[in-house]
Structure 1
Amino acid sequence: MPVSDATASAPSGTMASQQKKRRLLVLVDIPAIQREDGHWLLPTKLVTGMRAYAEQWSGPVMLGLQPGHQSSAELDNAYWPPETLPFQVQAFRFSELAERGHTALKNALVMAMLHHELHGLARRCREVGSLFVVGTELTLRTQVQIARSLHRPGPAMVKKLIWLSLNHRRALRDITEAQGLQCNGTPTFDAYAHRNPHALLYFDNRTTADMLASAQDIDTRFERLARRGRPHLFFSGRLHPIKGAHHLVPMAAHLRRLGIDFELSIAGDGPLRGEIESQIRAHGLQDQIRCLGTLRFSDELMPLLRREIDLFTCPHLQGDPSCTYLETLSGAVPIVGYDNEAWQGLHRRSGAGVLCHSRDPAHLAAAVATPVQDVTALRKLAHKAVDFAQKHLFDIEFNRRIAHLKQVASQGDAGDTHAP
């Protein structure tokens, strides 16, 4: 049976001794860039996660990256001396790893997100007596939505959609053949959990207990709202078409037409920032909308959410399981968003906001107008938000993933693996 929201637990004793024999190999699709002095260029969030793996896994831990020269777009990239890292870093060509194998696969538990160059790796691991746990984030539906947001109709679009369909078939085979499945967010869990007997649902986010909004934070925020009578709306993330960022200002213009007074802050950066700033001027909304740029997560973004934000407006046009959802709820901030796969599943489990069933700015404005005019209902949504988030903090979700890996390793060592 799939593991759902219940905490995955691993047996002790024999499992612990068996696990020591296995290397944990984590494959991540970012370029393996090493400076002349040997320092590795790695995102801080990734290093934090790998350190946690190293602390909780009994055997050696290795991070596998793709060869490359151009750095990833991660904002928290930094150079790390290898001697300070409790794990090894090695470059692998993913396609060669899946096709030909590598000595690093022997006696290993390999964990990797679905990747077109890794198709067949589950079978390769099985051939050498190793275990494979595959991670998923995007359903085929979401991948198609992203493709349509990035490509104009025409031959290139048709070619992309055909490729996605064929790639999806290979991905389903990997999911079925893997010894374990970890699904980031509800969309892929709902779609694929039945294909693997050891499936886990988790919610990726960076929130720790000290970042959660307190009851005092909520009280202070609503006292401020009562005094001002002007709700503070918010959006954070990439200012990119796939995030629907171009809907924000038109939504605000519709809110104004509805007679709703408001303030909207937009945090983040991306290719649409110039267009958004132009839209603000064109609609004469300079007094109500601010573009804040990129905020530091722990000491800028989270305090702002906890202390000042009343409602998060989420025009994501597709259902990628962005960590924005959980991090926003951690600040006791309800979400009003389009009914993409990610927000549908999260809303069903948390009840911490409103679904907008039509993906256009006018309907989003109408969906926002309802809760901001009912302070009692808005406060209830705020409490639902933080109540759900505190059950899915970073440490909790990470520990569940580690427990799941240990469980897969134990069952694999005991010979309890499902047939391909």
Structure 2
Amino acid sequence: MTSLLVISSAPAAIVDEKLFLDIKFVEGMRYYNELWDGQVSCILKLRAGTFPFGQTYAPDELPFNVTLLRGDKGIGSDEISGHDIILCGGDNHEYLNLADISRDARKKLVFIIEYIPETRRQIIFLDPSRSLPRKLYSLLWTMKQERRRRRAFRIADGIQANGHPAFSVYSPMNANTMMYLDNRVGETLLATENEMEAREQRLPSGAPLRLLHSGRLEHLKGSQDLVPIARRLAAKDVDFTLDIFGTGSLEDEIRKGVAEHGLRDKVRLNGAVDFESELVPFARQHADVYLNCHRQSDPSCTYIENLGCGLAVIGYGNRMWSALCRESNAGWVAPLGDAQALTDAVVDAASNRQRVVECCIAARDFASQHSFENEFRQRIHHLQALA
């Protein structure tokens, strides 16, 4: 049997002598354990205090082994000893030295990658808390780490690229590169036939177009565009509602803008809610279109997750959504950062309900092909081929 070691940047803590772990990470590890013919283990960095989207687990609740690294301790040959295949997060610069270590120890190493250099630059320059000198320093440091990353990826035995942008940038560096679309929508969370039919019957009736936005309310996510878009839609007499889910530094500003511009009957802030038990059912039953203001090209789960709820997507043409929209035929693409164009796309959708219906159907069909289970099977088969 072959042993699999997953080295992840997912957070971990100890609370009341129990492990406090990210729920999504644990579910992924459970799936590895179910499909892997051999021992499954993981290494996580220990941090202080709890964090969002986590819960406590007794060690005997988990079907995989967990090793916690304290402080600044790195991962070397001792930590990977006894394992045959290592799956490691390549976005974290601290793990790039494992390319040489694994090669010398004759271990098979596969890196996971999500961010591309463009996204890293966007994160730096869209951060309002950094001064220009700090941004320039961060840019130079990031460029140095990128050179290390590319060397490590050429040495590795394979790459798993999350999303089209990462696959496009890094696949030329390693012939054994596969693409996957990470998301939390399992087959049981996909919109049901009854929910799809209800939306298809409602949309042509002239009822308000129901927009949904979810995620962190931050400049990086383009949340500052939500109120201006809603104002323009109201000025154009578009019959719509916009439900916003999430919290962040822009929450008070958005709430103030909604009140000042008389949008309370159109725009609702719902705060942070549980993904599976609250957000997904709401999206499936009370929304038509996912409004995405995301400027970054990272492979956010939100695309597939909302497609899986049967929602058409109207979003900025970052590299991820542009590629995904072409592949899925499930929505509209507006020029990057052009809030007026994004508004015009919503106006077009409101006046072309049949196209919205077609996009919703295409969205659900596409997401069903890329469910959580399907994507994980593909990734595990990629690893098993190395055994």
| TMscore range, shorter length | over 0.9
Matched with 2:161 is: 183
Tell me by how many angstroms 1:260 deviates.
Answer: 1.1
User: In the alignment, which residue of structure 1 is the partner of 2:203?
Assistant: 225
Whole-angstrom CA distance in 2 between matches of 1:111 and 1:93: 20
User: Hey, what does 1:135 align to over in structure 2?
Assistant: 112
- Is there any run of 5+ residues in structure 2 with no aligned partner, and where? none
TM-score scaled by structure 2? 0.95
Q: So what's the TM-score if we normalise by structure 1?
A: 0.88
1:7 corresponds to which residue?
none
- From 72, 81, 91, the equivalent of 1:105 is 81
Q: Conserved in 2, the CA contact under 8 Å of 1:24 and 1:61?
A: yes
| Aligned counterpart for 1:397 among listed residues 348, 359, 375 | 375
1:58 counterpart (20, 37, 52): 37
> Could you tell which deviates more after superposition, 212-221 or 277-286?
212-221
CA apart distance, 1:228: 5.0
Q: 1:369 aligns with which of 337, 347, 352?
A: 347
Tell me the distance in 1 between the aligned counterparts of 2:335 and 2:16: 53
CA shift, 1:210, in A, is: 2.3
* Counterpart secondary structure, 1:29: coil
If asked which structure has higher relative contact order (CA below 8 Å, sep 6+), I would say: 1
How far apart are 1:93 and its partner, in Å?
6.3
Supply the AA of the counterpart residue of 2:248.
G
Shift of residue 31, structure 1, vs aligned partner: 4.2
| Alignment-derived partner of residue 89 in structure 1 | 66
Tell me by how many angstroms 1:386 deviates.
0.9
CA contact (8 A) 2:12 2:22 kept: no
1:8-407 correspondence to structure 2 within 5 Å:
20=1, 22-37=2-17, 39-71=18-50, 73-75=51-53, 77-92=54-69, 97-98=74-75, 100-114=76-90, 115-151=92-128, 152=130, 154-407=132-385
CA distance in 2, matches of 1:56, 1:50: 10
Quick check: 2:89–2:95 contact (8 Å CA) kept in 1? no
Which residue identity lines up with residue 265 of structure 1 in the other structure? D
Amino acid at match of 2:80: A
For residues 206-239 of structure 1, give each alpha carbon's deviation from its aligned partner in whole angstroms, at most 9, with x where no partner exists.
Answer: 1122222234322212333344531111101111
Question: Aligned in 2, Cα 1:31/1:315: closer, same or farther, shift over 3 Å?
Answer: closer
Q: Percent identity?
A: 33
* Aligned CA-pair RMSD: 1.8
> 8 Å contact 1:32–1:90 — kept in the other structure?
no
Give 5+ residue unaligned stretches, structure 1: 1-19, 410-420
Matched residues, number:
385
Shift of 1:360: 2.9
Supply the AA of the counterpart residue of 1:167. Answer: Q
CA distance in 1, matches of 2:124, 2:191: 36
Shift of 1:23: 2.1
Q: Distance in 2 between matches of 1:367 and 1:51?
A: 41
Paired with 1:352 and 1:200, the residues of 2 have a C-alpha distance of 23
Deviation of the 1:311 alpha carbon: 0.9
